[in-house]
Every structure is written in C-alpha cells, then in structure tokens.
Amino acid sequence: MTLTPAWSGAFDRGSLQEVVGLPIEHVREWAFAGATGAGIRVAIVDSGIDAEHPRVGGIAGGVAFELDPSAELGYVEREGPHEDLVGHGTACAAIIRGLAPETEIYSVRVLGANLKGRGALLHAGVEWSVERGMHVANLSLSSKSDAMFAPLHEVADQAYFAGTVLVCAANNLPGPTYPSQYASVVSVAARPGDEEMTLAYNAHPPVEFGARGIDVDVAWADRGSITATGNSFAAPHVSAMVALMRSKHPWLTPLQVKAVLQAASINSLAG
C-alpha cells in the first residue's frame, strides 16, 4: 500500500467541500482547450534537468547555484548547461512537457546529489526566475528553516507582483515549510487518480490544490523512468495547467490564475 504524503488527506473525495468559483461558463474549456504552452517560460527550480531525456526533448537554458564558502554570498552562480544530479528535476520537467509541449523550459539547479540544498540557494533560484521574466516557476521543494521565512516571503511577494506564478509543493512530512505556506504561491499536494488535468481545491489551506501525485510514472536519471509518489510530482501537473492557461490568456495575473484554478477544480460549483 502506498503511503500518501502529508496534506494529501484533504483531497480525498469524502473530505472535499464544495466551493464557489468564478462564474465562467465551461471554465476548463475556457482555460485550457487548444493551449500548448507556446510563449510561456517555465523555470524548474530543482536538481537540474537532463535535457536529452526523451520525455524532456531539450530545454531553453538555465543556471546552477552551487555552494562555495569562499564566495561573498556563500554560493556561486553558473549560467549555462548542467546535468541533473538526481533525476528529480527531470521528472518535473517531463510532466510539464507532456501536458504543455510548447513551453520554454529552464533548469534552475539549487539541489545537490542528496536532494538537499540550502535555503539561500532556493532564494537565489526564485530570484533568478523572477529577474529573467519566467511566467511560471515550479518549486517541487520547500525549506523548513525558520531563518528563511522572511527572505523567501520577500522573494515570493516579488514574484507575485512581477507576474511570475510560483507553484510550490508542500513538504511530504507534516509541518510548516516555505514558500509553500505563503498566500502568494499556488500550493500543491498529491491526490490519487490517473487524470493528469484534474484538480481539487482545499477550502481550508495552507495547501490549496491537490493534483495527481501518487504512483506516477515519471522520467528519471539515465534516460529511465520510475514509479514515484510525492507532492513533488503533483506540483508540475499544476505548473503545466498554469502554463496552458497563460499561453491562452497571457493577461492573467497570479491572482487571477489562482482564481481560475479554483474554478476549474472538481469540487467547484463553477467547474
């Protein structure tokens, strides 16, 4: 039996509460139908991306942030090609590519080979994404560090006002993590099901949206694939939906994106 990640229980069908969404007729068709993600830049803030993986099919560019105690900020920024140190970022990129095939994907590596990283690197990766005008940033990671609460809050607000939608997975273990707790981000947890474009909305956040993330066949290292479960794999499903709707309706702000996602959820009276 697969153990479900933290926060997933809120999205069990028996737990879902009906919510009132935007009064858009046929909202899912309005939001997604015919969209490919064309013209949308998506940053994958993660462990890197294997651009040659057949499920990824190339990326547009990226940057790697690496710890360096001798550097002024404690890390260095290396623009250009880099590998995926684990497979995790490749999994996220491939999910997005599969749903929004014409997106421009950028790899922002902030995690090491142990799938861990410092909060300062996460902060730098989000800031890079905002400064480079990314329309969406997928964060299948969060920080537990209380010391990072304020810095990450500041850069999350920076993203919000700049028009970069941060889609952030909640931690797989209970407890507060950042930036997934902030109201300015689209917070995501895993829910069961095979429907790649199905969303549920949690009327009692901090985690607002549930998407496919349990027993998912994902791309991985060495051009391979694995079956994996985690909030990490739910987030890119939502990032892809955001890319689709913003390619179709480029005027949507982060606030409006979140409202459309709620209206498109299975427990929304507008959906």
The pLDDT tens digits of the residues spanning 126-165 come to 999 999 999 999 999 999 999 999 999 999 999 999 999 9
Is the pLDDT score of 252 beyond 90? yes
As a whole number, the mean pLDDT across the chain is: 93
Per-domain residue ranges for the chain?
26-123+135-263
Q: Are 51 and 81 in contact (CB under 8 A)?
A: yes
Amino acid 2: pLDDT: 63
CATH class given for the domain over 26-123+135-263: alpha beta
pTM over 0.85: yes
* pLDDT above 90 (res 209): yes
10 pLDDT band (50/70/90 cuts)?
A: confident
Over range 204-230, report the average pLDDT. Answer: 95
Exposure string for 98-127, b = 16+ CB within 10 A, e = fewer:
bbbeebbbbbbbbbbeeeebbbbbbbbbbb
The candidate with the shortest Cα–Cα distance to 16, out of 162, 248, 189, is: 189
Q: What percent of the chain shows pLDDT beyond 90?
A: 80
Q: How many CA atoms lie within 13 A of 237 on its CB side?
A: 27
